[in-house]
Chain A
Amino acid sequence: MDAKFILIVEDNPDDEEMTIKSLSQAGITNDVQVVRDGVEALDFLFGTGAFAGRDTARMPTVVLLDLKLPKLNGIDVLSRMRQHELTRTIPVVILTSSSEDEDMVKSYNSGANSYVRKPVVFADFARVVSQLGLYWMLLNQVPGKQPLN
């Protein structure tokens, strides 16, 4: 399967649904894979655990990563991804409720491509997510991959 897809790492089902809703409202209908914690995210990416046997050649175009996650937090997931050859170049956008400077600095230091705060107001949230989706899915070029259109 050559279709681009987005990996959403989000433990809050409300945020998950709103993110997906926002993306679809922006016209981004690509496949979306959702995982609920850090361990699951890494299992998915490396084809281990519950995702054993998954074709790891097929990687998400962008990962929307929450920071506050069960089991393994966002910064740890990001660090593992940046250490591994397979996942090193995958764009990672931190999508979080935290507006703490410390979190932002940590994220960038660990190799985040972007840091986006989730606004409380849905309209703002939808705007941010749709912009992100458009940018990463349609405009951004990743080494070895041809952009769509």
Chain B
Amino acid sequence: MKQSMSHGRLVLAAALLAACAARPVVAWAGDAEAAELSQQQVEAAYLYKFGSYVTWPDKAFAGPDSPIVIGVAGADTLADDLASMVAGRSIGTRPVVVRRIHDGELPDGVHILFIGGARAAQSGNLFEASHGRPILVVTEGEDGLAEGGAVSFILVDDRVRFDVALNAVQQNGLKLSALLLSVAHTVNGAKP
């Protein structure tokens, strides 16, 4: 194992080690082999990672340190996974907060809203409530975009991919990073 790390890198490495719950770096492989992530877990991780590629208008936040709130509707297990995943994490300067959106609850103060497949049919009001507001609406399934989602998880070759509907994103006054678009399965509407 090479020891040619600079001081700065040492600090970073220490931080990363701490972030990885004090696991040694060489333990990655073992970690990977130990547990095959579930679709919900992958989707939870994606939800969290989307935050890095979305630019919200300034008015979406109360201040520079205001948290990014990920709202989850109709997917409690996912919400739990996500909650445990983002605990103590932040995107840029903003901490990440997970909120369950219960039935009939409006997605106020939410920046990313996941509407699980189980609730999608009866969640028209959520789509509508989100429309024109700075909320990235993420759904599941082939029809997710048609229903009004901006991003929709799909399974391609048993792997979780996602489609993007740019017009939906733009309608909500959001901007998506081109990097994200490069890994999207399909991008509808406006060109990336």
In the complex, A touching B (Cβ < 8 A):
no
